[in-house]
Structures are given as structure tokens and as C-alpha cells.
């Protein structure tokens, strides 16, 4: 017997990444990105470091360096989603982890 999982009481979702959970690096490499896709397959919005929010999805946004200095080891980056912002029927939210091109960046060898 198969039962369907319903998340009716879920109001918010946070999707975060960190480069190295134990060491703060000089160069940010990974970041979360979301794509909001309609039931017809049209990309309605992309939220990432270059497009931190979209007016159609009010409280949903990209955040970086959000922890208190005493609590963080590195700079996490996350996308906060308020699910009530997504009211259209058959809307899909695709969560992806992307990487900045850091090949030209200088990294301090003392970190490793």
C-alpha cells in the first residue's frame, strides 16, 4: 500500500551550502540556487547570488554571511523560501548547488 506524503504544515524551507564546514576559506566556491518552474515548463524565476530575490515571490530570498561571528566557522550561503509565496498550481521549485569559477582566484596555502 502506497501513501502520499503531504507537507501541509510546512511553511518555510531553507536550502544552504558551505564550502568547508571546518575552515573559513578566502574564496567562496559553492552556492545554492533555486529555479521556480511553472506547470507548463516555463522558468518563472531564478534566485541566486546575482538575483537575490524576485518580486513575485516576496519573502523568498538568497542570503549570505548570515550567522553571528561567534557561531560560524565559515560563511554559509542559503536560499530562504516562504512556501505561501508560491500559489500557482503545479509550481515546481528546483534546488541546485552551483559553483563559482574560482580558477583565477588566489588561495592562501596556509589554510591547508
| DSSP states along 56-85 | GGTT-EEEES-S-TTT-SS--EEEEEEGGG
For the stretch 12-43, pLDDT in tens is 888 888 777 666 666 677 888 999 999 899 99
For the stretch 60-108, pLDDT in tens is 988 876 666 666 555 678 888 888 888 888 888 999 988 877 666 666 6
Backbone angles phi, psi at 75, to 5 degrees: -95, 105
| DSSP states along 1-55 | -------TT--EEEEEE-S-SSS--SS--EEEEEEEE-TTS-EEEEESSSS-B-G
Q: Distance from CA of residue 88 to its chain's centroid? A: 21
Per-residue CA distances from 19 to 3, 48, 69, 80 (Å):
37, 16, 17, 18
Domain boundaries, given as residue ranges, for the chain: 12-20+29-99
pLDDT of residue 9: 76
Amino acid at each position: 500500500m502506497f501513501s502520499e506524503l503531504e507537507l501541509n504544515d510546512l511553511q518555510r524551507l531553507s536550502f544552504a551550502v558551505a564550502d568547508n564546514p571546518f575552515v573559513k576559506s578566502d574564496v567562496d566556491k559553492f552556492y545554492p540556487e533555486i529555479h521556480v518552474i511553472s506547470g507548463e515548463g516555463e522558468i518563472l524565476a531564478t534566485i541566486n547570488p546575482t538575483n537575490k530575490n524576485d518580486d513575485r515571490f516576496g519573502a523568498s530570498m538568497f542570503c549570505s554571511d548570515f550567522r553571528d561571528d561567534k557561531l560560524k566557522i565559515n560563511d554559509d550561503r542559503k536560499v530562504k523560501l516562504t512556501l505561501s509565496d508560491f500559489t500557482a498550481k503545479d509550481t515546481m521549485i528546483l534546488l541546485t548547488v552551483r559553483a563559482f569559477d574560482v580558477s583565477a582566484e588566489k588561495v592562501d596555502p596556509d589554510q591547508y
